[in-house]
């Protein structure tokens, strides 16, 4: 069956550790229980001991992709659901055995160590013999039990029923492929920092380290690794030579900047007075171009905008462009700052004149000629607050002296709204999403997106550009949202836009980027322009 396809690769993080497998299995079972209680895997992994984290993450993601199948098989094996802790360990072992063809351990090893894990915990020790008997039976009758389980959609697709039904309705030709791809770990994709090194030079650095990669079609700085690795092992990662970012996520910055226009970025905002109309050269306004990255954490798109702007001749100047990055969650807003620091893009008020660039320290990592060894823009300001309520914004400042804080603009020339969404397009990277998300969440998220879109539209200048995007494949969070917005906003025009992007197809205008790379996250992009009032 198409829906029964199993993963073909394991996670970039490795289970290589000196810790015994029974300890990893026990921790993984507890983590899966926390996911069932509504906690995200990101939160759970943050709280783990550093020694446990790599191994548990790998096993956790494998198990989450098989959780539906394991639950069905458990119901076939036992008539009464066992106590919670025992059930978590049982389903964890069943899920990992189902994924054993791509996992690091053999089925019998997993069963032995799961029983050992039961013996080591007070709340599961009395049920260790029961667990052993059930898992041994599964090994003996695996083929028959799998055949019976796969008659259910939950076991075939490992997604909730409402999710499967929605994809069937919205993607009648592709829904099975979408569900199958959600079972496979995504490839590791990188964005090369154009302010420090060219994509060609970084490919050479990867090759020198024995890492095979190739360019992502439709991107300018994107690379995909043949085999995922820990980020710390990437050449120059700590020095800011690259970031981990999906290929479709790398479309945001170029789409926004191309919609604004390179000439506008280089010249600033042109005046439209009668005198300038008579002259061959339009006069330039003293006002800089104001760009807002709303909902900016963790800062990948913010950094990409800064990198792209820094490579444009003549715009690395606060008099030309100001980039304002906004995030409602203060803790997450600091991740933007950390990312900008690592990439050498610094933060508010920091300039290359006052702080010398750190050495690359890597042979062959020459920066592009038109950029220089380092580009430190002085025109980025970080804010904490609600994008829909301007009065809540407050500047985020590092504990350094002599920093300027830019004023909050009343209006913007360009806005990037990467709206909160179901994240249904990135379920390969975050397999817990399929179990955490509830059908009732979707209308609430749609309402939140609408609130942000309407509020930010009021702060967009006439003639300005708003790029709306979500990492969702659900139509109501993408095209449905924009169709509704256009019906209620006569000043809005939809420019040629990528629309919904999925791994297997995208309905694109001929002039737009190509989506033939096939193995990227699900996204939606709409480019809106605000017309002058009639």
Query: Where in the sequence numbering do the catalytic residues fall?
Result: 471
**In the numeric block, which tokens belong to residue 429?**
């990277």
How many C-beta atoms lie closer than 10 Å to residue 191's C-beta?
26
Provide CB contacts within 8 A for 407, sequence distance 6+. none
Distance, CA of 284 to CA of 450 (rounded, Å): 35
CB 290 within 8 A of CB 412: yes
CB count within 10 Å of CB 422 equals 25
Handedness of CA 350, 354, 360, 366 (dihedral sign): positive
SS3 216: coil
Q: In angstroms, how far apart are the furthest CA atoms of the chain?
A: 91
Distance of CA 87 to the CA centre of its chain: 32
CB 138 within 8 A of CB 148: no
Burial string for 238-254 (b: 16+ CB within 10 Å, else e) reads: ebbbbbebbbbbbbbbb
299: alpha, beta or left? (left if phi > 0; alpha if psi -120 to 50) = left
Residue of 4, 253, 316, 2 whose CA lies nearest to 148: 4
């Amino acid at each position: 069956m198409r829906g029964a396809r199993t993963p073909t690769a394991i996670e970039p993080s490795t289970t290589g550790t000196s810790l015994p497998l029974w300890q990893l299995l026990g921790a993984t079972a507890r983590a899966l229980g926390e996911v069932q209680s509504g906690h995200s895997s990101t939160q759970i992994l943050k709280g783990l001991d550093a020694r446990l984290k790599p191994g548990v993450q790998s096993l956790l993601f494998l198990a989450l992709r098989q959780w539906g199948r394991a639950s069905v098989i458990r119901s076939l094996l036992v008539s009464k659901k066992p106590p919670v802790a025992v059930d978590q360990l049982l389903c964890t072992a069943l899920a990992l055995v189902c994924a054993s063809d791509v996992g690091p351990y053999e089925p019998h090893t997993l069963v032995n160590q799961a029983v050992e894990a039961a013996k080591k915990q007070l709340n599961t020790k009395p049920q260790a013999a029961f667990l052993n008997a059930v898992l041994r039976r599964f090994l003996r009758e695996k083929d028959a039990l799998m055949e019976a389980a796969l008659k259910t959609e939950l076991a075939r697709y490992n997604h909730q029923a409402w999710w499967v039904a929605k994809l069937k309705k919205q993607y009648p030709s592709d829904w099975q492929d979408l569900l199958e791809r959600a079972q496979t770990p995504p490839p590791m994709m990188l964005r090369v920092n154009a302010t420090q090194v060219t994509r060609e030079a970084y490919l050479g650095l990867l090759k020198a380290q024995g890492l095979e990669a190739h360019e992502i079609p439709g991107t300018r700085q994107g690379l995909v690794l043949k085999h995922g690795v820990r980020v710390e092992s990437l050449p120059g990662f700590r020095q800011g030579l690259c970031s981990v970012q999906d290929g479709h996520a790398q479309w945001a910055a170029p789409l926004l900047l191309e919609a604004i226009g390179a000439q506008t970025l280089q010249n600033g905002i042109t005046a439209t007075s009668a005198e300038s109309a008579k002259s061959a050269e339009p006069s330039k306004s003293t006002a800089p171009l104001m760009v807002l990255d709303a909902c900016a954490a963790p800062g990948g798109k913010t950094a990409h905008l800064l990198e792209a702007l820094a490579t444009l001749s003549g715009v690395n100047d606060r008099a030309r462009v100001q980039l304002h990055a906004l995030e409602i969650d203060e803790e997450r807003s600091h991740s933007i700052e950390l990312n900008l620091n690592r990439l050498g893009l610094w933060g508010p008020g920091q300039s290359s004149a006052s702080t010398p660039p750190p050495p690359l320290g890597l042979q062959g990592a020459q920066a592009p000629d038109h950029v220089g060894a380092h580009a430190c823009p002085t025109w980025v300001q970080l804010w904490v607050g609600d994008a829909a309520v301007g009065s809540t914004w407050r500047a985020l400042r590092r504990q350094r002296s002599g920093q300027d804080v830019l004023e909050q603009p009343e209006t913007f020339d360009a806005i990037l709204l990467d709206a909160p969404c179901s994240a249904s397009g990135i379920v390969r990277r975050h397999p817990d999403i399929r179990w955490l998300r509830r059908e009732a969440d979707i209308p609430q998220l749609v309402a939140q997106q609408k609130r942000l879109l309407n509020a930010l539209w009021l702060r967009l200048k006439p003639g300005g550009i708003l790029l709306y995007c979500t990492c969702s494949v659900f139509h109501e969070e993408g095209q449905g949202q924009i169709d509704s917005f256009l019906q209620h906003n006569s000043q809005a025009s939809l420019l040629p836009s990528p629309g919904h992007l999925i791994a297997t197809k995208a309905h694109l205008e001929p002039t737009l980027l190509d989506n033939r790379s096939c193995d990227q996250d699900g996204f939606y992009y709409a480019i809106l322009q605000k017309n002058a009032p009639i």
